[in-house]
Amino acid sequence: MRTAIVTDSTAYLTEEEMQQYGIHMVPLTVNIEGQLYDEGKDITDVEFYNKVRGAKVFPKTTQPPIGKFVELFEQLANDYDAIITIHLSGGISGTYQGAVQAGQMVDGIDVYAFDSQFAAALQGYFVLTAAELAQQGVAAQSIIEQLEQQRETSRANIVVDDLGHLQRGGRLSAAAALIGGLLQVKPILHFVDGKIVPAEKVRTRKKALKRVEEILAADADKYGALNAAVIHANCEEEARAYMEELAAKYPSVTFKLSHFGPVVGTHLGEGSIAVGWHAK
């Protein structure tokens, strides 16, 4: 049984990973002052953050048109028996639901849509797991079952640098953003039922990153071996140093460095750092 793996641009996989496993990607779009850019194709991370830093209008993001999924699924139906399409959380984007609807519109192939309930590198971990299993010839339904098990141990904690992005995105009141800025509060965000919500409020960035480490350490003790990603929004040097510090302390955890591209970066803001992981 041949199973194709599809995802969207917010998985932030490398070109090497996509080529190695034959992963297909449908991009989301970011709108910067009226100019549209397909994420992962038309604009780099550095270009995006530079443009947004000087923009007068807050950027907007758009999910892929259903027609893009339909077109891709119909092409894949010529060569595959099934499709697994994995997307960022349905709680923060309509992309997953669009893929579900597209799958219902395509004949001649079974389409399994999977809501990662996360985004960025954690979403990418699901894609890579599915791709590895598909290469081994595992049936699509069995792959979905394994993804569901992986999701049970998946966690992500995010430290944002600028509360203004959350406020403009409707996730924090203007008053809370102002007070937080004055008090140097750095909220730690996490996913609950697929939505990004505040988990804790910590004074100073250093203490917030330390608290994320403590949460990671608890799961490392609970599950043993973990796959973990340190994810950054255009602050690679700081994120790499943080990752190396964590890797030295937790040898049972396999770390990688990843990034927040334009779509997720629009909502979290430049300077955000997250750590996401799942049990091996």
Please check whether residues 186 and 252 belong to one and the same domain: yes
Please check whether residues 68 and 126 belong to one and the same domain: yes
pLDDT digits (tens, 9 = 90+) for 80-112: 999 999 999 999 999 999 999 999 999 999 999
Q: What is the pTM of this model?
A: 0.93
Residue 182 has pLDDT above 60, yes or no: no
Q: How many domains does the chain have?
A: 2
pLDDT digits (tens, 9 = 90+) for 35-63: 999 999 999 999 999 998 877 888 999 99
Report which secondary-structure segment, H or E, holds 83: strand 82-87
Please check whether residues 174 and 229 belong to one and the same domain: yes
What count of other Cβ atoms lies within 10 Å of the Cβ of residue 201?
13
List Cα–Cα distances, 157 to 83, 119, 263, in angstroms. Answer: 30, 12, 18
Q: Say if 48 falls within a structural domain.
A: no
Please check whether residues 139 and 196 belong to one and the same domain: no
Please check whether residues 147 and 9 belong to one and the same domain: yes
User: For position 16, which CATH number holds?
Assistant: 3.40.50.10170
pLDDT range class, residue 175, cuts 50, 70, 90: very low
* Both tokens assigned to 223: 């599950």
Average pLDDT, the chain: 92
- Dist CA 73 CA 100 (whole Å): 11
The reported pLDDT for the residue numbered 177 is 53
Please check whether residues 236 and 165 belong to one and the same domain: yes
Find all residues with CB under 8 Å of 121, minimum gap 6, and list them: 11, 12, 229, 231, 256, 258, 276
Please check whether residues 136 and 171 belong to one and the same domain: no
85 lies in which domain range?
3-28+63-152
- Dist CA 143 CA 6 (whole Å): 13
The reported pLDDT for the residue numbered 58 is 85
- Dist CA 34 CA 105 (whole Å): 31
